Structure 1
């Protein structure tokens, strides 16, 4: 007969089942699927580094894993801020695809696409201090009580409540539009068609006068290094791109849970654009071009498979 310790170790399903939750939490804290995966891997490494007796003595493995993952992410956030100060150009969180739109399977640890991962929301999170971000995400997104958050952060519940309140003020100041805004998909479609037609009047009608475009090339591909402000500057830039790269194909795709656009060249994704709206106009565009952030948008490049819906061999496609 197994001892209680052995029985606990022979039934690890409750521990493994936490992987999806931890991945979702880590992405919202870090803004990068790769960094989130690293944080989750580190969390499990620490769990399995415990002795058999210490693992069996943990009353609530899920809470233990969440606490450790949060602390790992908090450490990463501190180092990430230093790395991003040296980043070439603007830094945008890594965009997430809806894999079902490409006819691909959805693994159990796939990040859930909801309003807490839309690009506007993540960009505001980036402006928060690491402690604010952790307190806000844990409480307002995942509904952890401040008493639990205090244990994870090593602060008092009152201090954690103040951190979350400060984060909410930042979010309100950003005035982001809820991702469920009616007509969002139709507006993005109109924007795509105006861009394809090189119709500057139509683009200007769809862009708010004070609209902003931010591009992230990471110094690896061409991209504007500073935000473009104003509808006219953005429309002129988009027409320049359309003229310079006439072979680009624009696809309507879900980006971080909301309607966005994907630009492909010979079947290979070269840009993913997310949008924020106000009424019937585009107020902000985030264009991710850094190829290291577009790996989740490429399929079949390693083995020469065809990308869903393109009929193109992506292994030989060039930007």
Structure 2
């Protein structure tokens, strides 16, 4: 029950930050970028720094003052990765990855997965493109996932995959894909 409450609070907080950013910039895409950058800066703080502030106030203040012109060039990378995945463009996916990239999935979802990590850019590109290629009635969106760059694959309003990426400014190092339906509920849209 406590975990459910925490997830609900996290989603409410994220929606609050999106509303602030969308009001400022008039664009949902820019709002998503601002919230992603807000969480990125939060997780970049040392634990001691986070302990002395009230999280919601700190995040709200930052989301209301952040300038999207100063973002690190991660979002274009994530968008290129998403586009290449949805079109099944294996060389395009490969171009976004570090040579030693790793892909990790859980099990129990609607999509076929491997129980072991996939290693190396060629193998990760092939696997990710095959797994995330456009499915009938599905759409892939770029969204922050727990403060990291990410993607959500949805069929209408139901999330069927949540993808979190660890990145450098120029490449994707790790792709984490959550497919277990019991873990996807917070990502459904109503």
TM-score range, shorter chain: 0.5 to 0.7
- Over 4 Å off, 4+ runs: 94-97, 100-103
Unaligned runs of 5+ in 2: 20-37, 54-69
Task: Kindly report which structure 2 residues correspond to 1:193-208, keeping only aligned pairs within 5 A, or say none.
Answer: 193-208=83-98
Q: Which of 9, 15, 30 is residue 99 of structure 1 equivalent to?
A: 15
Q: Give the whole-Å Cα distance in 1 for the aligned partners of 2:125 and 2:11.
A: 23
* Coordinate RMSD, CA, aligned: 3.5
CA 1:246–1:238 in structure 2 vs 1: closer, same or farther (change >3 Å)? farther
Q: Is the Cα–Cα contact under 8 Å of residues 137 and 155 in structure 2 kept in the other structure? A: yes
Q: Which residue of 1 aligns with 2:4?
A: 34
Unaligned runs of 5+ in 1: 1-31, 38-93, 104-112, 122-135, 145-179, 300-306, 308-319
TM-superposed CA distance for 1:243, in Å, is 5.1
1:142 aligns with 2:51: yes
Q: Give the whole-Å Cα distance in 2 for the aligned partners of 1:246 and 1:287.
A: 19
TM score, norm. by length of structure 1: 0.40
Partner SS state of residue 144, structure 2? strand
CA 1:183–1:116 in structure 2 vs 1: closer, same or farther (change >3 Å)? closer
TM score, norm. by length of structure 2: 0.63
Q: Is the Cα–Cα contact under 8 Å of residues 73 and 169 in structure 2 kept in the other structure? A: no
Q: Which residue of 1 aligns with 2:34?
A: none
- Larger C-alpha radius of gyration, 1 or 2? 1
TM-superposed CA distance for 1:187, in Å, is 0.9
Q: Which structure shows the higher strand fraction?
A: 2
| Structure ranking higher on relative contact order (CA contacts 8 Å, 6+ apart) | 2
TM-superposed CA distance for 1:208, in Å, is 0.7
Tell me how many residue pairs correspond in the alignment: 151
CA 1:227–1:140 in structure 2 vs 1: closer, same or farther (change >3 Å)? farther
Listed one character per residue, the Cα deviations across residues 64-109 of structure 1 (whole Å, up to 9, x for unaligned) are xxxxxxxxxxxxxxxxxxxxxxxxxxxxxx9999335887xxxxxx
CA 1:100–1:191 in structure 2 vs 1: closer, same or farther (change >3 Å)? farther
Q: Which residue of 1 aligns with 2:105?
A: 215
Listed one character per residue, the Cα deviations across residues 88-134 of structure 1 (whole Å, up to 9, x for unaligned) are xxxxxx9999335887xxxxxxxxx634876xx8xxxxxxxxxxxxx
CA 1:244–1:188 in structure 2 vs 1: closer, same or farther (change >3 Å)? closer
